[in-house]
Chains A and B, each alone.
Chain A
Amino acid sequence: MRVLDIAIKDLRLMLSDKKALAIMIMMPIILTSILSFALGGTFTSEDSIGKTKIAVVKKYNIATEIEDFRYSLSNGIVSENISKSDLEKISKGVEELSIEKIFFKDFLDNKDIKEFLEYEIVREDEALKLLNSKKISAIVILPENFIYDMYTNFLTPFRNKVEIKVITHPDMNFKGRIVNGIMESFTDMTSTLIVGKNVLIETALEEDVIDKVFNNMNDVIDDITVNLSNNSPEIVYESLNGRNPISSFSYYSAAMTSMFILFSAGYGGKSLLEEKDNITYQRMIIAGVSRWKILVGKFFTILAFTLIQIFVMVTFSTFVLKANWGNIYIVTIISILAAFAVAGLGTLIAVLTYKVGNYKMTNIFESGIIQVMAFVGGSFIPIDVLPKFIRFLSNLTINGLALNSYFRIMMGYGIGEILKYLALLVLIGIGLMFISIYLFREKERYYYVERVDAENYETA
């Protein structure tokens, strides 16, 4: 008898077990779909749920504010500190520099931003309605005097505080963060420019060479525009992970896959004792089949079944949920090594269950240990959110290691970045296998009579 014969037979048994298939193949598919839709806000990006929609509310009045700015140039503090010819240049600047163009055209319509954000300009009350009904993810409020203040900041030595308000919906926490981040990047960028300009203007005022400065004003204005269109603003989400954004579908596909492969360890863990209860184990021994072959057969069965599970999940999530797993070769390597570790775990459970002689072990594993591993390994809640200690523990769980590896490949890291996880998976697999062999090595007496009988005699 070949190990392969045993594994094929065991696989046949597993695949004919409808309940097992429901738990190990259907459940992760269903759960992934549900979780991704329900918790989509946490991991969203444009490729999953579409662009983040926002409403922009203009609380300023552009016409009057430009008037006011021009007026303040000829009256009040501004005019007192700047010479007449310079004032003329500034008011020429007003014509050349359109704040609305900077914010809307150069910034929001910038092609990098446009990939994430879609905006419409609406009234405030309307915007709130849209937000409440979750038709949009955030409201960006451009405050009163936005135009006036921006001109002042850009074109005069003075600085007025400009506060762009972002209102987000609590259910769309993550999208809100993205919008916030984008707005922050806008203000950051403008203030760098403004600071630069102010230093320039201030020193210029002191040295009374304002002419020169305003000769440079055009360059400054150009700078603003160039900066906006060339350097795409940093977006919070990207800086969080540093890599590709991951859709909730991708994340939960990997998370559920990593978790549910543990169940095949539990399922396979029953099979050795089941064979004994079925007397098929004894029948194989009678036929001269080595018990080691039987054990190795179990190992490969679990390995193969785990790979089938992963294959189904990857295929389903890729084509139906549009999850993006990243480099398929690396994903294959991760999957094989994860399945290897799972098979080691399953074999150990099988040996323990066999030795103990009842299914308590597997039940504890399935109803308790898997849940803990799933939590610790980040299958329910993203590991990044969990305390550092648990993040450390996750690297000791098979699902945690698998998830971390898948996750990184999704983000576009190379295989080099996950080598340590892969090595751990291999080590865990080999370690568990060694323990299994050690425990199985001692040939106990197996009972030919029914197990129930044998138990009675033990206690008699």
Chain B
Amino acid sequence: MTLLEIRNLKKYFKNVKAVDDISFRVNKGEIFGLLGPNGAGKSTTISMISTLIKPTSGEILYKGESIVKKPSIIQKKLGVVPQDIALYPDLTGYNNLKFWGHSYGLRGKLLNKRIDEVSEIIGLKDKLKKKVNEYSGGMKRRLNIGAALLHKPELLIMDEPTVGIDPQSRNHILDTVLKLNKQGMTIIYTSHYMEEVEYVCSRISIMDNGKIIAMGTKDELIDIIKGQKKISLKFDEFSEDVVEKIKGIESVKDAYILDDEIIISTENGETIFKDIITEVSTTNSSITSIDIQKPNLETVFLHLTGKSLRD
């Protein structure tokens, strides 16, 4: 069942086409990933879904009803974890949760019960009496998430919830996402970390420059570059002309230098290793290792855009 449908959504700012005609559906019960580099338009898309800004054009339907026309349809059903920490640093964790509970109309016993449950989920139960500005980065992130969970949203949108935190907090958050999903919550998960999206999302759309350039399950996406291999060569030292030489090999689609390596994309040629070694030996470069990489979303992105997800 489709919970959320985005149709030809656009948001143009003065000088930027932040979101440029995108369409997708989010099904009930899934974790939908939005993967894209900085400035891809992920947050802008989320702002429109969360009724914070109005689209330039296009439609957003929640259970078939337009939330562009009637924001209140989605507002109380939606939980949003903003990319930036949206909390009161001078209030305690408890008072923050209490306030955000009020903002969704929760109060009294029910609210206290929810604060209890949520602080358990985010693992901050014994830290609630502290002021938020005494929290570590990871704790703030977790409280930022907790504040969006109090009203048990049907749809939870998380905008880069793991930016700038330690691996431990990050794993905790990722596991929380999976746990919430298991309890039936539909989640839209945004990140520019390919590993995270791969780990938690059932379906992924890859955004770049305001457009969705690919969409599907992880396997479907990797299928896009089926038959393609990525080989990385490490050298002791290498001369500039080696890249051109490698590019000259028939089965090589592309080759470029990344740090001290040369990355080669290839259509599975039988003789590829032999060819590479032959070509390299005509220069004064010497190979120390050859690595064949399994394709992943990073490779897909690279394939589709010619650039790396993180730069």
A and B associate in one complex: yes
Closest partner residue, chain A, to B49 (CB atom): A286
Q: Is the CB of A458 within 8 A of B14?
A: yes
| A288 close to B75 (CB less than 8 A) | yes
Is B82 part of the binding interface, using a Cβ–Cβ cutoff of 8 Å?
Answer: yes
Neighbouring A residues of B13 by C-beta, 8 Å: 457
Stretch at the interface among A215-223, A274-282, A320-328, A389-397: A274-282
- Chain A, range 294-320, C-beta contacts under 8 Å to B: none
Within the assembled complex, what's the spacing in Å between the Cα atoms of A9 and B87?
A: 12
Chain B proximity mask over A263-296: 1 for CB below 8 Å, otherwise 0 = 0000000000000001110111111110000000
Which of B84, B85, B87, B89 counts the most chain A CB atoms within 10 A? Answer: B84
Q: How far is the CA of A285 from the CA of B54 in the complex (A)?
A: 13
Known contacts A283-B80, A286-B80, A288-B71; decide if A9 and B99 are in contact (CB<8 Å). Answer: yes
Q: Mark contacts of B98-112 with chain A using CB atoms, 8 A cut-off: 1 yes-contact digit, 0 otherwise.
A: 011011110000000
Take A280-B86, A282-B82, A286-B78 as given contacts and tell me if A445 and B14 are in contact as well, using a CB distance cutoff of 8 Å: no
Q: Which residue of A lies closest to B48 (CB)?
A: A448
**Which of A12-20, A133-141, A185-193 is near enough to bind chain B?**
A12-20
Q: Is the CB of B43 within 8 A of A448?
A: yes
The CA of A16 and the CA of B88, in the complex, are separated in Å by: 11
Q: Are A282 and B91 in contact (CB under 8 A)?
A: no
> Which residue in B44, B52, B89, B105 is a CB contact (below 8 Å) of A286?
B52
Instruction: List A residues 155-206 near B (Cβ within 8 Å).
Output: none
Residues of A within 8 A of B72 (CB): 288
A406 CB to nearest B CB, Å: 33
B285 CB within 8 Å of chain A: no
- When distances are taken between beta carbons in the complex, the residues of chain B under 8 Å from A457 are 13-16
Contacts of B91 in A (CB 8 A): 9, 12-13, 16
- A287:B95 contact, CB within 8 angstroms: no
Q: In the docked arrangement, what's the CA distance between A1 and B72, Å?
A: 14
Interface residues of B in 1-52 (CB under 8 A from A): 13-16, 43-44, 46-47, 50-52
Chain A residues within an 8 Å CB radius of B82: 279, 282-283, 448
CB neighbours (8 Å) of B14 from chain A are 457-458, 460
| Contact between A279 and B86, CB atoms less than 8 A apart | yes
A77: B residues at CB distance < 8 A: none
Chain B interface size, as a band, is 35 or more
The residue in chain A whose Cβ has the minimal distance to the Cβ of B102 is A5
Known interface pairs A17-B90, A288-B71, A446-B52; A283-B85 also in contact (CB < 8 Å): no
B290 part of interface (Cβ distance < 8 Å): no
* CB proximity to A under 8 Å, residues B37-81: 43-44, 46-47, 50-53, 71-72, 75-76, 78, 80
A2 near B: Cβ within 8 Å? yes
| Residues in chain B near residue A289, CB distance under 8 A | 103
Q: Tell yes or no: A450 within 8 A of B by CB.
A: yes
Interface assignment of A449: CB less than 8 Å from any CB of chain B: yes
Shortest A278–chain B CB gap in Å is 7
CA A457 to CA B16, docked complex, whole Å: 9
Q: Is the CB of A9 within 8 A of B88?
A: yes
Max count, chain B CB within 10 A of own CB: residue among A12, A282, A448, A449: A448
Check B86 against A445 for contact (C-beta < 8 Å).
Answer: no
Contacts of B71 in A (CB 8 A): 288
Given B85, B104, B131, which contacts A279 in the complex, CB threshold below 8 Å? B85
Residues of B within 8 A of A9 (CB): 88, 91, 95, 99
Question: Contact at B103–A287, with CB atoms within 8 Å?
Answer: yes
8 A Cβ contacts from B93-126 to A? 95, 99-100, 102-105
Interchain CA distance A12-B88 in the complex, whole Å: 11
Complex: A16 Cα to B44 Cα, angstroms: 34
B57 to chain A, nearest CB (A): 15
B15 touches A284 (CB 8 A): no
A contact face: mostly helix, strand, loop, or mixed: loop
Q: How many residues does chain A have at the interface if contact means C-beta atoms less than 8 Å apart?
A: 27
**Distance, CA A5 to CA B100, complexed state (A):** 10
**What is the CA–CA distance of A17 and B78 in the complex, to the nearest angstrom?**
32
Q: A283-B100, A457-B15 are in contact. Are A278 and B52 (CB under 8 A)?
A: no
Q: Please tell me which one of the listed residues B53, B75, B131, B147 contacts residue A448 in the complex, with CB atoms under 8 A apart.
A: B53
Q: For B78, give the chain A residue with the smallest CB separation.
A: A286
Return A229 CB to nearest CB of chain B, in Å: 66
Assembly CA distance A446 to B75 (angstroms): 17
- Which one of A5, A448, A450 lies within 8 Å of B99 (CB-CB)? A5
CB-based nearest B residue for A443: B54
- Contact status A288-B76, CB under 8 Å: yes
Chain B residue numbers with a CB within 8 Å of A449 are 43, 83
Complex Cα distance A286/B86, Å? 12
Partner of B102, one of A1, A12, A448: A1
Find chain B residues with CB under 8 A from A13 CB. 88, 90-91
Chain A, residue nearest B13 (CB): A457
- Report the minimum CB–CB distance from B72 to chain A (whole Å): 6
Chain A: minimal CB distance from B194 (Å): 22
CB distance from B150 to the nearest CB of A (A): 10
Q: Per-residue 0/1 for B137-156: is the Cβ within 8 Å of any A Cβ (1 yes, 0 no)?
A: 00000000001000000000
Residues of B within 8 A of A279 (CB): 82, 84-86
* Contact bitstring A440-460, B, C-beta under 8 A = 1, else 0: 000001101110000001101
Query: Nearest chain B CB to A281's CB is how many angstroms away?
Result: 9
User: Which of chain A's residues have a CB closer than 8 A to the CB of B87?
Assistant: 278, 280
Best-buried of A12, A17, A460 by chain B (most CB within 10 Å):
A12
In the docked arrangement, what's the CA distance between A175 and B104, Å? 64
Shortest C-beta distance, A163 to chain B (Å), equals: 69
Contacting B52 at CB < 8 Å: which of A2, A285, A450, A460?
A285
Task: Pick the most buried of B51, B86, B89, B104: most chain A CB atoms within 10 A of its CB.
Answer: B86
Residues of B within 8 A of A1 (CB): 102-105
Contacts of A5 in B (CB 8 A): 99, 102-103
Task: A13 to B80: give the CA distance in the assembly, Å.
Answer: 23
* Alpha-carbon separation in the docked complex, A240 to B202 (Å): 85
What's the Cα separation between A278 and B96 when bound, in Å?
Answer: 13
Among A12, A280, A285, A445, the residue within 8 A (CB) of B51 is A285
Q: A446-B53, A457-B14 are in contact. Are A283 and B43 (CB under 8 A)?
A: no
By a CB distance below 8 angstroms, the chain A residues around B147 are 283
Min distance, Cβ B201 to any Cβ of chain A, angstroms: 22
Complex alpha-carbon distance, A288 and B72, angstroms? 7
- Specify which chain A residues have a CB less than 8 angstroms from the CB of B52 in the assembled complex: 282, 285-286, 446, 448
Task: Tell me the complex Cα distance, A150–B101, Å.
Answer: 87
A18 and chain B: residue at smallest CB distance: B90
If A1-B103, A17-B90 are given as contacts, then 18 extra A-B residue pairs at C-beta distance below 8 Å, sorted by A number, are: A1-B104, A1-B105, A9-B91, A13-B88, A13-B91, A16-B90, A16-B131, A279-B84, A279-B86, A283-B82, A286-B52, A287-B76, A288-B51, A288-B71, A288-B72, A445-B53, A448-B52, A448-B53
11 residue pairs bridging A and B, Cβ less than 8 Å apart: A1-B103, A5-B103, A9-B95, A278-B87, A286-B78, A287-B75, A287-B100, A288-B72, A449-B83, A450-B84, A460-B15
A-B residue pairs, 3 tightest by C-beta: A288-B75, A279-B86, A448-B47
